[in-house]
Chain A
Amino acid sequence: MGVSKSKVTALGEQLRSGEYGAEELSVLGDWRRGFEPALGEVVSSLAALEPVTGRSKTVNSIVDKLRRMPSTRLAQIEDIAGARMVREMNLDQQDALVADICEIFPDNKVYDRRVKPSSGYRAVHVVVRIGGVPVEVQIRTRVQDLWAQLVESLSDRWGQQIKYGGPPDEPDVPVGDTTAGDTTTRGAVVEMVVQRLSQSLRRIEEETAQVERRSAGLEDQVRQAYMEGRVEDLRDHVENRDALVVAQAEARQSRAEFMDSLIDLVLLLQAVP
């Protein structure tokens, strides 16, 4: 990529130690530019599946990552170049989009971070290789993305460690309306967002996908039974449909209750810049 392997390794150590200046930033810039053709190709190839955007990693996040992972060399970081796609979709549609991306880029590795969320973060990442150069494609539902953006935003204000499951800087600082005595602490807000909010959103996305799956399956069965004149089966399907209507109502109710409970959190967040 225009910069020798040993120079990249040395550069990584300088960034990790914080001892770098204009010269090191120039070498980093040259090395990072080596990822641009691959990133451009990925973003252009996915343009039809918009919205998609691409970025090469910022100096701050490269340094943060090297410090967080002391045994990782700069050249081992797989997300120097990254693309992101965010859509209103359910979990099944997200799976279908991932499958489409894997078909476009056969040299790929899928990391389903919905299965084992790390510090509450859920998404699917696909690392594709273009001529050996890795580009990480993040595929997020709108809900997964808004949660991730919220946590990024809290990390920007109260400490980058929040993204990785750590407590905020000064966790006991009160948040909220101190004159009304209606306060909690930074630590409690972060716990609420990173733990409880992530888990609740996960449950809601899974329930929604399940109900939509059942609904689609039932429609198929009814259509098939009707075409084949199977009256008894049709009767069963009507009963199933009634059960499904109840499940849909329960899912809606649980979502509405959860969203109501979030209003307090939103009020607290008004105190954050």
Chain B
Amino acid sequence: MATFLLVYDRARGELLELTNLGESEDERDSIAFLRQEREEQYQDMDTIEVVVLLADSEDALRVTHARYFHSTSELGRALVEQ
């Protein structure tokens, strides 16, 4: 299970950062450090979301957290195509 760090601009619908931080349990401290660094960096911008996700692959993220990867219109279209 890999850990991903995402930084997302909610107002513009733009994924600013997607980093695969790997699967190592030993990386927990550096992941926490990186997350906090980003949270502090964007603390005054409440439309910026810093999120850490656990997933087997980026593909799984694209399924369960589609809004980080698609526009509102694309999500609507996907619903119609269901």
Contact = CB atoms under 8 A, between A and B. Distances in A.
B64 interface: yes
Interface residues of A, number: 46
A84 interface: yes
B79 A147 contact: yes
Interface string A199-211: 0000000000000
B73 A47 contact: no
Contacts of A36: 28
A25 interface: yes
Contacts, number: 122
A265 B49 contact: no
Interface stretch (A111-119, A153-161, A226-234): A153-161
Nearest to B55: A53
Contact of B54 (A54, A145, A146, A154): A54
Contacts of B10: 156-157
Contacts of A154: 72
B1 interface: yes
B79 A86 contact: no
Interface in B43-77: 43, 46-47, 49-56, 59-61, 63-67, 70-73, 75-77
Nearest to B12: A273
Given A265-B76, A266-B73, A53 B67 contact: no
A262 interface: yes
Contact of A55 (B28, B53, B70): B53
A40 B54 CA distance: 8
Interface stretch (A4-12, A56-64, A94-102): A56-64
Among B13, B71, B73: residue with most chain A CB under 10 A: B73
B71 A21 contact: no
Interface of B: 1, 10-13, 28, 32, 35-36, 39-40, 43, 46-47, 49-56, 59-61, 63-67, 70-73, 75-80, 82
